[in-house]
Amino acid sequence: MTGPLVVIGDTLLDIDLHGRAGRVCPDAPVPVLDELVEKPRPGGAGLAARMAADEGLEVVLVTALGDDEAGDRVRGLLPDVDIRSVRYDGPTPVKQRVRASGQSLLRLDSGTAEGTLGRPDDDLERVLRDAGAVLVSDYGRGLAGLDSVRGWLAALSPRVPLIWDPHVRGSEPVPGVRLATPNEPEAVEYAARAGVRGGRGLAAAGRRAAALVEAWRAQAVAVTLGERGALLSYGSGAPAVVPAPEVMALDTCGAGDRFAVSAALALRSGAITTDAVQAGVQDAAAYVAAGGPASLESRRTVSPVPTDSAEALVRGVAARGGTVVATGGCFDLLHAGHVASLRAARRLGDCLVVCLNSDASVRRLKGPGRPLVPAVDRARVLDALECVDAVVEFDEDTPVEALRRLQPHVWAKGGDYAGQELPEEEVLRQWGGHAVVLPYLQGRSTTQLVRTAAGGTTKTEESVR
């Protein structure tokens, strides 16, 4: 759908106070933080709206902000969002995290007293009716529980995708939501209210999700499982489990919001629910790999939002001082030679990105009969390998432009190139990267496999790429 994403829910002001802990207080066993730097950002529904707006989308935020300094700061942090305020006489909640070297030491909350919400203007009904998708980001402060709001939201289904990100202090989703996205502790609490208690592991998570589909009369429930990904249930039949890519994460704050936003945007574009959950898991993993909340500032001030999660992954690994390795090729009919080369490349650093020739690029290199496997399937097979962290498709004859975007520290080239100047070395020098050669596993090649399958007997070797 082409309408805006409407985010409705509770907004707060998040402030991170970053400092350097180089000594201990002489009168108490606590660290002393020097050189404090304040980094504010919108929180709750405001963070979800910010994430969507950073992708260049039209976003309407329906929320309640206090008439105070914190509320004014939140408005200033959302210049690209159309904010529709509901009348509210309470304070804007503020959460301050004190952090040192990426680790949280303390959180200070203020503005927690809840004021009185007024009835939203009838214009909100039109805003919801014209939405491409609606995301309810409920942090339990009452907005999603207003009778008028719930009535308008319930009337949307099934015409407008409605995604509900619940909180145990908040309201249950209205009947008919396309997708509800509780995290695991929330699912445990809500399922207990529905009479489903106890149990651990995926089987128990599946039972809880199915119970919530029935209790909420939702079309589907996706329980987010942190680093394990998400479990999707339609209430009957086997649930779908979407594993998360393995990433290093110091700060996961906002990962649930990133999941819900990406799922909502996918449903807005017409994706089926399973694909929307997959998009949510991938984007949430890329978000935490890129530094979590810290990545929001770099996205706004340094570069546009990356077109795929690989660039976010690379930036996150590099920011932590890790080594980014890239390799490339056609990988048509993946075989043991490919796997040996990929495993060797991954051992050279902290993540491995594969630059994959597009179908058109393969045809130009290999002839009109290739590739045998389309790029979308080649990418899926590569991405399934434990040693591969991300796959980037390129359409040129060489991966030079992809390398320029990724800027890896190491480019791993397979084949008999030892002692030779590699064509990619010139572009690698621009950021201090370097190339290495990985020997092939002898006797394996795609051409040989093709000829053997066709009844040929030749042992002609070709690049395993």
Distance of CA 318 to the CA centre of its chain: 18
**Residue among 10, 138, 257, 332 flagged as catalytic:** 257
**Residues 6 or more apart in contact with residue 117 via CB below 8 angstroms:** 64, 86, 87, 88, 142, 143, 146
Q: Tell me the CATH architecture of domain 5-300.
A: 3-Layer(aba) Sandwich (3.40)
Q: Catalytic residue at 257?
A: yes
Which residues belong to CATH 3.40.1190.20 in the chain? 5-300
- Alpha-carbon distance of 125 to 133, in angstroms, equals 14
Which residues belong to CATH 3.40.50.620 in the chain? 323-453
Distance of CA 373 to the CA centre of its chain: 28
* Residue given tokens 């890896």 in the structure block: 408
Read off the pTM. Answer: 0.66
- Give the containing element (helix H, strand E) for 361: helix 359-366
Q: Cα torsion at 163, 169, 175, 181 (round to 10°)?
A: 30
Per-residue model confidence as pLDDT tens for the chain (465 residues): 579 999 999 999 999 888 888 888 888 888 888 878 888 999 999 999 999 998 888 999 999 998 999 999 999 999 999 999 888 888 999 999 898 877 788 899 998 888 888 888 888 889 998 999 999 999 888 888 888 888 999 998 788 999 999 999 989 999 999 999 999 999 999 999 988 887 788 889 999 999 999 999 999 999 999 988 999 999 988 899 988 887 776 778 889 999 999 999 999 989 999 999 999 998 998 888 877 887 776 443 333 333 356 887 888 888 888 899 999 988 887 887 888 888 888 888 889 999 999 989 999 988 887 888 888 888 988 988 888 989 999 988 889 999 999 999 999 887 655 556 677 888 999 999 988 887 765 545 555 555 655 565 444 344 444
265 burial level (CB within 10 Å; 0-12, 13-18, 19+)? buried
The pLDDT score that the predictor gives to residue 113 is 84
The pLDDT score that the predictor gives to residue 440 is 61
- Alpha-carbon distance of 78 to 321, in angstroms, equals 31
Annotation: CATH topology of 323-453: Rossmann fold (3.40.50)
